[in-house]
Amino acid sequence: MATSKEDMEKDLTFRRFEDGDYTYSRIGDDIFNEDTTYKCPTYVHRTPPCQGSCPSGEDIRGWLQIVRGIEKPSGEMSMEEYAFRRSTDANPFPAMMGRVCPAPCEDGCNRNNVEDFVGINSVEQFIGDQAFEQKFTFDAPAQMSGKKIAIIGGGPAGMAAAYQLRRLGHASTIFDDHAELGGMMRYGIPGYRTPRDVLNHECQRIVDMGGIDLKMNTRVGKDVAVEDIEKEYDAVLWALGCKSGRKLPVPNSDAPNCVSGVAFLEAFNKGTLQVTTDKVVCVGGGDTSIDVVSVARRLGKITKINKEDRPEQVIGGYVAHDSAFAAAREGAEVTLTSLFGREEMTATEHEVEDALHEGVTILNGVMPIEVVLDGEGLACGLKMAKCEMVDGRPSPVEGTEFEVECDLVVSAIGQGGDLSEGLESMDNGRGLIDADAFYQVPGRDGHFVAGDIIRPHLLTTAIGQASIAAESIDHFLKQEAQKKRPKVDVHHFELLQKLHEANLDPQPFDPNKDDQRGTNAANFAVHNYEDRSSAEIISSDRLFLGHFPYTPRNKRSAKGPSAEDVLGHFCGMCFECDNCVIYCPQDAIFRVKKDQATMGRYVDTDYDKCIGCHICSDVCPTGYIDMAMGDH
């Protein structure tokens, strides 16, 4: 009888030896010489592939063991705080990364060769959310170096660098041209994916370490000269990010209603963009494009909208939508196009599923060839064709052309830096800044760089680069020569540190008393232990998988809105837009005092003043306000 698929998946039969390995060899013949052995067990620490795949270099194995209860905290520290301390050694944003990181660590997980990867992302979000709920803080050394670094950009790279520099005893000033910290976490990702109360807390937790000054709404190069920065500070870190989107490389893509994905999302996240248009087409296939189409479905359209209120006018920064628009919007048709097939899209799989569930149409394996204009010079359609890869470049297949109607085209095909207005000397000719292996800017002494401005990539990549840049700045300030970076460049578990935590430090070695001929009974050495973590990653082919039983993964629960429910759906929770406070004619709605406010408790109502006009309910973008408590 044939073995069922279920038995094959669950009754695992991993073996140490393969068929044909039946000859027994006398191991003793190889390892013994008379009565003396030359081999004995040595305990070798290597880096696991999950950590080796993490651009931030987090000690993933370490904090997973803590959450599982295998590694115990010392003293009275809770498991939640201990896991928080371990995870934030590399990444100060566990709640944010647990939500939005595409988790390359899970692709590297050894359990993929057993049944399924560990839900690393989910555990990281748990750690971050526990830290938020319990209001854990960061420790900072009291002793300061007296040095101060200018950090240009308050996004994930800039904030992570400020955090790591402060841990090393260095002060910093963050310059950012926005009103609030967070960079792409705030202005490039919708708030229903990065809850603003949690984001605010994770940013503020870094600032609260002290020695970190903020200069917001300040653009270096325009508001303050680079030369003045160089005179005032001991080093400069460029963490500008990339907020200039690439336009479509097709005719007529400079039409007024052709906009970039990053500009679209920034206008939405600033609160100025309240509605889109009837038919939106986004060209992309990555995570940014998924955010664009999901936001577009939620925002919806206004059937009769004034010309000056069209979305491109808002995205261009010329006007801002009246927030009352939100009460009159209807569902919009939203289409996402991708060069690649569904399996090859770079967007995270579950986010693609969510977009489809929300009513987005996805066209795979197609490419734009021309923006079609109407009589007013506005885009009214996007001519597409099926595509094939020729020498690594997309090429349209002749005879497959078709047109998608639209009145807003969003390009989410890549990003670049904005190095205008006094920053031209930093430009490497591609709108980016060059970096060497230590994240120094070549030819500019005391200048360092991290994040997307080197090459647009993941948020977790920016955080990892910032950590290395902070170490490089520390060496520079101390006038120390840069050491070669380790082959496996991550935040390694250190046994001596763990022994110190447990009050098990080896005793000092005394060459006048201690016998150096053998250390098996000595207490100044760690026996039979070798740390190769900086040079080797342990892969599944080095493991005996027969010891690992089938264990189903506990999947993080997630429920997104349907195509019918998605309009105005920003998780059914107040996101502090202030519409109800502004539009209440009786001043009955008020903001809750800060020391009493929390998520879902931002506003309240004075029922002695309320007349039941339901304007607040009409202008609430999230559906959070219902009219109840009587027949007003």
- For residues 373 and 456, membership in a common domain is answered with no
CA angle (78 as vertex; 45, 166 as ends), nearest 5: 70
Q: 44 falls in which pLDDT band (50, 70, 90)?
A: confident
Of the candidate ranges 11-20, 167-176, 218-227, the one whose mean pLDDT is the lowest? 11-20
Q: What is the CATH number of the domain that holds 620?
A: 3.30.70.20
State what percent of residues in the chain have pLDDT above 90.
52
Question: Quick check: 203 pLDDT over 90?
Answer: yes
| Burial of residue 183 (number of CB atoms within 10 Å: 0-12, 13-18, 19+) | buried
Specify whether 147 is located in the same domain as 84.
yes
Of 493, 575, 467, 460, which Cα lies nearest the Cα of 93? Answer: 460
Q: Write the pLDDT tens digit of every residue in 251-264.
A: 999 999 999 999 99
pLDDT at 3: 43
Would the pLDDT of 570 be above 60? no
Decide if 446 contacts 234 (C-beta within 8 A): yes
- Rounded distance, CA 581 to CA 598, Å? 17
Average pLDDT for 492-497: 83
Any idea what the Cα angle at residue 276 is, between residues 243 and 402, rounded to 5°? 90
- In the block, tokens 């052309």 appear at 401
CA–CA separation, 390 vs 381, rounded Å? 26
Instruction: Give the integer Cα–Cα distance in Å for 105 and 564.
Output: 35
- 258 forms beta bridges with 409
Same domain, 111 and 131: yes
Please indicate, yes or no, whether residues 195 and 323 belong to a single structural domain of this protein. no
Query: Could you give the percent of the chain with pLDDT greater than 70?
Result: 86
Strand 366-373, strand 379-390: pairing: antiparallel
Q: Do 476 and 433 have their domain in common? A: yes
8 A C-beta contact, residue 127 and residue 98: yes
- Which band of pLDDT confidence, cut at 50, 70 and 90, is reported for residue 189? very high
List the single range of 290-294, 324-328, 484-488 with lowest mean pLDDT. 324-328
Q: ∠463-469-472 over CA atoms, to 5°?
A: 155
- Considering the domain boundaries, does residue 551 fall inside one? yes
Residues 150 and 43 in one domain: yes
Closest to 369 measured CA to CA, from 345, 400, 412: 400
The phi, psi pair for 461, rounded to 5°, reads -65, -45
Domain membership of residue 296 (yes or no) is yes
Bigger pLDDT: 575 vs 580:
580
For residue 262, being part of any structural domain is answered with yes
Q: How many domains is the chain partitioned into structurally?
A: 3
By residue count, the chain amounts to: 632
Residue 527 domain-assigned? Answer: no
Q: Which token pair is 591?
A: 């903001």
Query: Do 552 and 579 have their domain in common?
Result: no
φ/ψ region of 330 (left if φ > 0, alpha if ψ in -120 to 50, else beta) reads beta
At 214, give phi and psi (nearest 5°).
-125, 135
- Ranges of beta strands (E only) in 585-624 are 589-591, 603-605
More confident residue, 153 or 68: 153
Angle between helices 60-67 and 79-87 (to 10 degrees): 170
227 vs 91, 231, 423, CA distance in Å?
32, 6, 11
Shared domain for 228 and 249, answered yes or no, is no
Residue 502 lies in a domain: no
Question: How far apart (Å, rounded) are the C-alpha atoms in residues 578 and 575?
Answer: 9
**3-state DSSP assignment of residue 390:** strand
DSSP state, residue 175: E
* Angstrom distance (rounded) from CA 452 to CA 457: 6
Q: Which residue has the tokens 């609260």?
A: 208
CATH code assigned at 331: 3.50.50.60
**Residue 392 in this model has a pLDDT that exceeds 70:** yes
Q: Give the confidence band of 1 by pLDDT, cuts at 50, 70, 90.
A: very low
Strands 171-175 and 148-152: what pairing? Answer: parallel
Per-residue CA distances from 312 to 29, 263, 388 (Å): 79, 10, 32
| pLDDT score of 614 more than 80 | no
Per-residue pLDDT, 322? 72
Measured CA distances, 496 to 64, 164, 465, 515, 529 (Å)? 20, 21, 26, 22, 11
* CA dist., res. 184 & res. 54, Å (int): 19
User: What pLDDT is attached to residue 517?
Assistant: 63
Is the same domain home to 425 and 359?
A: no
Q: Read off the pLDDT of each residue in 241-258 and give the average, rounded to a whole number.
A: 93
Least confident interval from 121-125, 220-224, 270-274, 369-373: 270-274
Q: What is the rounded distance in angstroms from the CA atom of residue 440 to the CA atom of residue 456?
A: 17
pLDDT computed for residue 296 by the predictor: 92
Pairing of strands 279-284, 408-411: parallel
214 pLDDT more than 60: yes
Q: Are residues 3 and 150 in the same domain?
A: yes
Of the given ranges (127-136, 236-245, 378-387, 585-594), which has the lowest mean pLDDT? 585-594
On whether residue 514 sits in a domain, the answer given is no
> What is the structure's pLDDT at 225?
96
Query: How far is C-alpha 525 from the chain's CA centre?
Result: 41
CA–CA dist 328, 318 (Å, integer): 22
Q: Report the helix count and the strand count for the chain, using DSSP H and E.
A: 20, 22
**Statement: residue 620 has pLDDT above 90:** no
Q: 150: closest CA among 161, 139, 138, 164?
A: 161
Both 370 and 485 in one domain: the answer is no
344 with 394, same domain? yes
- Domain hosting residue 610, numbered range: 572-632
**pLDDT score, position 14:** 64
At 7, the pLDDT band (50, 70, 90 cuts) reads low
Measured in whole angstroms, the distance separating CA 202 from the mean position of its chain's CA atoms is 13
Look at residues 392, 414, 436 and tell me which one is the last residue of a structural domain: 414
Secondary structure element (H or E) that encloses residue 31, with its range: helix 27-31
Is 368 within the bounds of a domain?
Answer: yes
Global confidence as pTM: 0.83
Distances (CA, A) of 242 to 31, 184, 308, 526, 560: 59, 9, 28, 47, 29
Q: Are 614 and 622 in contact (CB under 8 A)?
A: no
The residue behind tokens 């029922």 is 607
Q: Are 421 and 221 in contact (CB under 8 A)?
A: yes
Q: Is 45 helix (H, G, I), strand (E, B) or coil?
A: strand
- Show the beta-strand stretches assigned E in 466-605: 529-531, 589-591, 603-605
Q: Is residue 511 part of a domain?
A: no
Q: What is the mean pLDDT of residues 190-214?
A: 95
